[in-house]
Amino acid sequence: MPKRKAAHTRKKGLLARRSLLLAVSVGLLLIVAVASFYAFGSDDSPKPHIRQEPVVSEEAQVTVKVVDRDYEPRELTINKGARVTWKFKGDLPHNVVDDRGAFESPILERGDEWSLTFDDPGTYTYYCTLHHSMQGTLVVLE
């Protein structure tokens, strides 16, 4: 009888150690998964934007600020021949790319500026290739 009891106790101890090891492994995987989500999670998931009013400008020179993950203003209407300057103010690099290929800035960082004169009327929808949730619309009037 004592041998059976000792074998049973060893099996019980081995089972308890395996269960503990499994629980610790699952816990560590959960911690790594959560940490990875916060460290490397997608920044392009749709985020609620604070509402911005569209801007209509009759100026010959207009500025769009590129701050954090947003263009300010997101919607801009200008007259034909106006020059738009995008000023990069945020901590992250960004660019300005028309979704139909009409223009594309290089990737720029804080303190940089990029300008373009719009001589062709139409609606230009643009975005940042690094942060696809960043989108803007420029309407050029005749």
Give the active site residues: 94, 128, 131, 134
Q: For the chain, count helices (H), then strands (E).
A: 1, 9
CA distance 130 to 69: 10
Residues found in the chain: 142
- Burial class for 84, CB neighbours closer than 10 Å (0-12, 13-18, 19+): buried
